[in-house]
Amino acid sequence: MKIDRYVSPTELILKNQIIMNDIRQKNHELFEKTDKTNKFMIITYGCQMNEHDSEKLIGMLKLMGYERTEVKEDADLIIFNTCCVRENAELRVYGNLGHLKSLKEKNPNLKIAVCGCMMQQAQVVEEIKKKYRHVDLIFGTHNTHNFPSLLSKAFGTKNTVVEVWDNEGEIIEGLPLERKFGLKAYVNIMYGCNNFCTYCIVPYTRGRERSRKTEDIINEIEGLVNDGIKDVTLLGQNVNSYGKTLENKISFSDLLREVNKIEGIERIKFMTSHPKDISKELIDTMAECEHVCEHLHLPIQAGSNRLLKAMNRNYTVEKYMEMINYAKERIKGLSISTDFIIGFPGETDEDIEDTIKLIKEVRYDSAFTYIYSKRQGTPAYTYENQIDEKLKHVRFEKVLDELNKIIIEKNANRKGEILEVLVEEKSKSEDKLLTGRSRMNNGVHFEGSDELIGKFVLVKITNPKKFSLVGELVEVLDK
């Protein structure tokens, strides 16, 4: 799985553009003859990085004349963009791939592609080649830009086409994109991770840390704002180390200040900030930039210094609390979220007590709590002091209870508050209501007409629910 030869980004883009035109032409001819448009279905697992990669694949497929469908029986091409951060994410992919075998038997023209983080693991690729022979195409996270060429190869053979690069290569700019939402957009500012937390597979699936050039990021956001996007989330595994791989060194705070100057942008968010690299300068920047939202996602993982050391997180609870307290002091109305891992090897009841103490001190507004999952290839996979599954679940429930108590209490205290909400869509959970997000990332539901979708409104919270807020429309804002 080595890169055969150096191919320059320009050469690659040109080659793929020619192939995209070719497939588009074929799809057009098919439509002329049969009135039928080829359809694709894409299923995305995992984090925003994968969501964003799927947006790139969708952009390319649309340029190739494909139409999107959510019905697998209607699809001519099905793509699984996979995640392997925890075992259950992988098991779901294997399960769903298995189910497609009978569909492929009924429709031999159906092409099945699997991509994303799981494919960066050699043992997974071998397993799919051996046990899921109905898969036509396998490609890795560093091969997204070459998708048209790989798809075209898959059309010409009955064998499984495989392309998984071990190395990240250069950042490829200028791929077409189809954004999931018309109002909000994810913008990658960097790729990969150098941190090697002992439990985490991401550095092995996404390669080493590399930053996009500032001018490429700014150009992309300016283009998005021109297209009506009002809310951008800057993405990276550790945004605080943005700029370190660039010739012209620039900090993440400087980048935020540049993005904040873009005319027409309303909301700027970012994730993820690593506690070992977060600086007071960044917090000051958040406080000073009017468009940067009052929300900080700062994953702690565990409230015990002993566990943080074993996880190779390179910060202490004391350093974390210093930053949290500074941020609360500097940013009015700040909401704070985090990630926890429960059941890391060697975890004791005392460690859980430390985590609960931290939860009570920070008073999180939301949190993602995960049960530790052994990942082959990571250091913690080989640790002998693994925790019993049942005990992991008991501890998980205990931590979740503490978190929920605080989150519910904080939501209840919002009764009577007036929040600025960007209206996103009709609510899926609350019948007949619209739904949107506040600057602090609260999900807010309220009654209003569909014309409000895409607008900023003020909503008075009248009925706080456990994990969301329901209110009444006060005013439609002119922005």
> Which of ligand SAM, ligand SF4, ligand F3S, none lies near 196, with the C-beta cut-off 5 to 8 A by kind?
ligand SF4
Question: Annotation-wise, does 289 bind a ligand?
Answer: no
Among 200, 256, 323, 422, binds ligand SF4 (CB under 6 A): 200
Closest CA to 364 of 395, 318, 320, 397: 320
Cα within 13 Å of Cα(267), Cβ side? 28
Among 82, 188, 237, 253, binds ligand SF4 (CB under 6 A): 237
Q: Residue 248: what residue type?
A: N
Question: Annotation-wise, does 197 bind a ligand?
Answer: yes
Q: Is 315 in the site for ligand SAM (CB under 6 A)?
A: no
* First vs last C-alpha separation in the chain: 50
Can you tell me the distance from the alpha carbon of 39 to that of 31, in angstroms, rounded to the nearest whole number?
Answer: 12
Contacts to ligand F3S from residues 99-118, by CB under 6 A: 117
Q: By CB under 6 A, how many residues form the interface with ligand SAM?
A: 18
Question: Annotation-wise, does 115 bind a ligand?
Answer: no
The residues, ordered by sequence, that sit 6+ positions from 335 with a Cβ below 8 Å of its Cβ are: 294, 295, 296, 365, 366, 440, 441, 442
Q: By CB under 6 A, how many residues form the interface with ligand SF4?
A: 10
Q: Is 203 in the site for ligand SF4 (CB under 6 A)?
A: yes
Q: Which long-range contacts (CB under 8 A, 24 or more apart) does 154-157 make?
A: 154/111, 154/113, 155/111
Closest CA to 109 of 39, 33, 209: 39
Q: Which is nearer to ligand SAM, 209 or 266 (CB)?
A: 209
Least distance to ligand SF4 from the beta carbon of 146, Å?
A: 24
Among 121, 238, 253, 335, binds ligand SF4 (CB under 6 A): 238
Phi-psi region of 90 (alpha: psi -120 to 50; beta: other; left: phi over 0): alpha
Contacts to ligand SAM from residues 7-46, by CB under 6 A: none
Least distance to ligand SAM from the beta carbon of 175, Å?
A: 22
Q: Which is nearer to ligand F3S, 188 or 304 (CB)?
A: 188
Q: Site map for ligand F3S, 58-97, x if CB under 6 A?
A: -------------------------xxx------------
> Which of ligand SF4, ligand F3S, ligand SAM, none lies near 203, with the C-beta cut-off 5 to 8 A by kind?
ligand SF4
Query: Locate tokens 């003859």: which residue?
Result: 33
Q: Is 240 in the site for ligand SF4 (CB under 6 A)?
A: no
Closest CA to 141 of 211, 66, 192, 177: 192
> Which of ligand SAM, ligand SF4, ligand F3S, none lies near 370, with the C-beta cut-off 5 to 8 A by kind?
ligand SAM
Q: Which is nearer to ligand SAM, 141 or 272 (CB)?
A: 272
Among 52, 56, 86, 267, binds ligand SAM (CB under 6 A): 86
Summarize as ranges the residues that interact with ligand SAM (CB under 6 A): 47, 85-86, 199-200, 202, 237-238, 272, 274, 299, 301, 339, 341, 370, 372-373, 375
Summarize as ranges the residues that interact with ligand F3S (CB under 6 A): 46-47, 49-50, 83-85, 117, 201-202, 205-206
Which residues fall in the annotated binding site? 47, 83, 117, 193, 197, 200
Summarize as ranges the residues that interact with ligand SF4 (CB under 6 A): 193, 195-197, 200, 202-203, 237-238, 274
